[in-house]
Amino acid sequence: MFNRGKEKKKEGVRLPEELPVLPQSEVVVFPSLIVPLGTADAAAIKLIDDAAAGDKLVGFFAQRPDSKEVTDLYSVGTAAVIARMFKLPDGSVHVFFQGLDRIELKKITQVEPYLKAKVEVLEDKVEKSPELEALVRNLITLFQKVVELAPNLPRELNIAVLNIPDPGSLADFVAAHINLKPEEKQQILEAIDVTQRIRKLTVFVNRELEVLELGSKIQSQAREEMTKAQREFFLREQLKAIQKELGEIDERTVEINELRERLAQAKLPPEAAKEAERELERLAKMPPAAAEYTVSRTYLDWLINLPWAKSTEDNLDISRASRVLDEDHYDLDKVKERILDYLAVRKLKPDTRGPILCFVGPPGTGKTSVGQSIARALGRKFVRMSLGGIRDEADIRGHRRTYVGALPGRIIQGLRRAESNNPLFMLDEIDKIGADFRGDPAAALLEVLDPEQNFSFVDHYLDVPFDLSRVMFITTANIVDPIPPALLDRMEVIELPGYTENEKLHIARKFLIPKQLKENGLNAEQLEIKDEAVVSIVRNYTREAGLRNLEREIGTICRKVARRIAEGKSEAAVVTADKLHDYLGPKKFRYEIAEEADEVGVATGLAWTPAGGDLIFVEATLVPGKGNLILTGKLGDVMQESAKAALTHIRSLTAREQTKLDIPKDFYEKNDIHVHVPDGSIPKDGPSAGITMAVALASAVTKRLVSKDVGMTGEITLRGKVLPVGGIRDKVLAAHRAGLKRVILPAENEKDLEEVPQEVKEELDFIFVKTIDEALEAALNQRASTNQPPC
Ligand SMILES: Nc1ncnc2c1ncn2[C@@H]1O[C@H](COP(=O)(O)OP(=O)(O)OP(=O)(O)O)[C@@H](O)[C@H]1O
Ligand SMILES: [Mg+2]
């Protein structure tokens, strides 16, 4: 397009004074450039024809904007020569003009048939200067950038622009190629001073470049987004193709197929399998976004993860089992025997159902831990669930799936946790199960425990039967009484009555101390707890049938020693009885009651609590008054009544001359009688303190001392009879624990001594009584010395 032979051309072409003029509306023609032009306009064709026939020279001038006259032209234009020309069959003419020089329009000389004007050549004003040099270089760089970015400019222009030595022509070349408005082009054309021209042009090129850069940024962003989306689409399509190839059509189908496979592995029994298949089909038809979908999916998960066919192999080696049981627990022979019997029967008859055992005993007697040990001996998984405070049937049997957030009950949950369908399942605190408007959990539990029903236990959530008959259930309770009879009926009760001092010493030495040492990072060289210290802990820091507190106190000692060793204060410790104060603080219980001085008006009763037996002290005192009976210490109705009965009996004695008691006849006329049972904040009730009340009252009235070494229990009647009571074994053990020497019991309770360990029986004297008088006889000593307050 660019004719570099300018010098030649200039020499070769001399412009005449007058030229035919082609007015241009939108186009500005620059010197040195080739301009194509096509026209069908008759005047223009005539002009071109005439020129072609002559010197071929034409003048181009642009029309001013909004011009109305043909003659309304800019004064600066370009002279050009016709380089090539075609006539097309439709009569139009196509011409290539070669631009030559800038010309100035001096005067229009002809209008019709086409314009003619007098013109004058305008020479470029070039002043070589560093500024011009810099402008030129800058312009070239800018233009090259424009060429890079502008989609419609050929790359060759980058080279072409470097080969234009004349700055004025360079500017014209650039101005002709970039995107400028006609007015702007005209401004460049009119700039005769080349420095001015380039300066002006630089502004326009810069603007153009900015526009192009912005455009390209927008473009590339759009392209980036496009490619990301395209890539994803492409990958998805590929995935689909692969799945199709493998016979898996889409994600959903993959999931459903996977579920189906896992269901097959779970080996569901036929009924459950049918239900699972139905649910699976429902799931396949649901849109994954539906709330129902998750519900259905969760249900299937439960079905899949239950141990329908997973079980552990029982270890039927009886001698090994016996060894394991002995390793973990001292004594408890009844429990161990029962487990070994069961194993023996299983060996002979493999489909024997597990017994449902119920361990009953005070806290800390090893119920839970022996359960764990049995699981270990049998090689079964162990799961434990506390029934304490459960009032809702759904806790056992689950909620129906129609409830939002429904889950299976705790039995099924426990089995899932066990991952085996024959674990040892321990149901703790079966005596603390409750019932209210939400249904009776005991009834649900009955279904769980009843061997006649539990092979098809239906959890509300699962809604299909699960076979519980291989599970070995063991329940625990502190006392038998609150256990619903229907449940009790199906269980085999084994009592864990609590331990004597000697047994505790033994267990501490063999089990508790080693266990606590290990838990606290100590070894036997670092801490020795002497036997006398253990006995002293049992007597003075704990008063319990079980071992909980003993273990806790031993743990406290271990921690204190561990700390001293860790701090580098000592290397090892030997704990004797007289050092216990340093470790455990002051004594918590009085053991040496029997050794204390006898007192008037205080009798020691033996009481039964869910934690085993315990001592209670009944105090009675006379104060001046009118025979009122004051009872304090949170006594229940039955206990208050037995206090009243005791008082009435004592009063009745005054009427009888033959009594050995020296009771003032009018004591109740001048005195009020106050009976108090300390530990006033703990509610107490029951008839078995009757005998203790009577002794305390009689002592207060007669001023005779009550022996400190004697404990008693027994219900009384108005007529002075003593009736049998319950919990004899625990009460006797409590007396023994507290260091008493003698125990007064109702005669009818003698048979109950069978349950009391021999060693305890040997250390206590038992006095069996049929009447209150006999009890008073045994409990009261001689009169107190004189300085007692008068009554
Ligand atoms: N005969 C025993 N031989 C060895 N350790 C025993 C014996 N009896 C109980 N223990 C230990 O005494 C602690 C308390 O026992 P466990 O927790 O089993 O009592 P529990 O009867 O379940 O009490 P609770 O009724 O309060 O649940 C345990 O650390 C246990 O190992
Ligand atoms: Mg327990």
Per-residue model confidence (pLDDT) at position 150: 82
pLDDT in tens, 304-354: 999 998 999 888 888 998 999 999 998 888 888 888 888 888 888 888 777
CB of 551 closer than 6 A to ligand 1? yes
Band (pLDDT 50/70/90 cuts) for residue 482 is confident
- Nearest protein Cα to ligand 1, atom 2: 329
CB of 371 closer than 6 A to ligand 1? no
pTM of the model: 0.61
Cα(607) to centroid(ligand 1), Å: 23
**In the predicted model, is pLDDT for residue 416 greater than 50?**
yes
CB of 336 closer than 6 A to ligand 1? no
Q: What is the mean pLDDT of residues 116-122?
A: 89
CB of 427 closer than 6 A to ligand 1? no
> Which of 547, 550, 551, 558 most suits a substitution to test ligand 1, by most atoms within 8 Å of the C-beta?
547
Per-residue model confidence (pLDDT) at position 473: 93
Cα(372) to centroid(ligand 1), Å: 10
What residue type is assigned to position 264 of the chain?
Answer: A
Q: What is the mean pLDDT of residues 381-408?
A: 88
- Nearest protein Cα to ligand 1, atom 9: 366
> Which of 339, 369, 534, 550 most suits a substitution to test ligand 1, by most atoms within 8 Å of the C-beta?
369
CB of 326 closer than 6 A to ligand 1? no
Band (pLDDT 50/70/90 cuts) for residue 655 is low
Per-residue model confidence (pLDDT) at position 423: 94
Name the residue with tokens 């419609």. 152
DSSP at 713? -
**In the predicted model, is pLDDT for residue 683 greater than 80?**
no
Report CA torsion sign: 129, 134, 139, 141.
positive
Considering only 129-143, 359-373, 423-437, which range has the smallest mean pLDDT?
A: 423-437
Q: Is 731 an active-site residue?
A: yes
Phi-psi category of residue 179: left, alpha or beta, with phi > 0 → left and psi -120 to 50 → alpha: beta
For residue 546, list its beta bridge partners. none
CA distance 644 to 640: 6
Q: Which two tokens stand for residue 788?
A: 């007692």
**In the predicted model, is pLDDT for residue 633 greater than 90?**
no
Per-residue model confidence (pLDDT) at position 437: 66
CB of 369 closer than 6 A to ligand 1? yes
Considering only 285-289, 434-438, 503-507, 620-624, which range has the smallest mean pLDDT?
A: 434-438
Per-residue model confidence (pLDDT) at position 786: 47
Find out whether 544 and 364 touch, Cβ atoms under 8 Å: yes
pLDDT in tens, 705-763: 999 899 999 999 988 899 999 889 889 988 988 889 999 999 999 999 988 888 889 99
| The ligand 1 atom nearest the CA atom of 367 | 21
**In the predicted model, is pLDDT for residue 591 greater than 60?**
yes
CB of 317 closer than 6 A to ligand 1? no
Above pLDDT 70, what percent of the chain?
94
Name the residue with tokens 């125990």. 743
Question: Pick from 420, 412, 473, 383: which is nearest to 307 by CA?
Answer: 420
**In the predicted model, is pLDDT for residue 511 greater than 70?**
yes
Which of 688, 699, 707, 708 is an active site residue? 688
**In the predicted model, is pLDDT for residue 594 greater than 90?**
no
Which of 6, 185, 381, 731 is an active site residue? 731
Per-residue model confidence (pLDDT) at position 658: 53
| The ligand 1 atom nearest the CA atom of 362 | 25
**In the predicted model, is pLDDT for residue 6 greater than 70?**
no
CB of 359 closer than 6 A to ligand 1? no
> Which of 365, 376, 385, 549 most suits a substitution to test ligand 1, by most atoms within 8 Å of the C-beta?
365
Per-residue model confidence (pLDDT) at position 659: 58
Considering only 37-46, 193-202, 770-779, which range has the smallest mean pLDDT?
A: 37-46
Per-residue model confidence (pLDDT) at position 24: 85
- Nearest protein Cα to ligand 1, atom 25: 363
**In the predicted model, is pLDDT for residue 208 greater than 80?**
yes
Per-residue model confidence (pLDDT) at position 569: 86
Band (pLDDT 50/70/90 cuts) for residue 788 is very low
Strands 599-600 and 602-609: unpaired
| The ligand 1 atom nearest the CA atom of 370 | 18
Q: What is the dihedral of CA 629, 630, 636, 637, to 10 degrees?
A: 30
CA distance 677 to 130: 119
Q: What is the mean pLDDT of residues 179-183?
A: 85
Three-state secondary-structure class, residue 581: helix
Report the chain's mean pLDDT, rounded to a whole number. Answer: 86
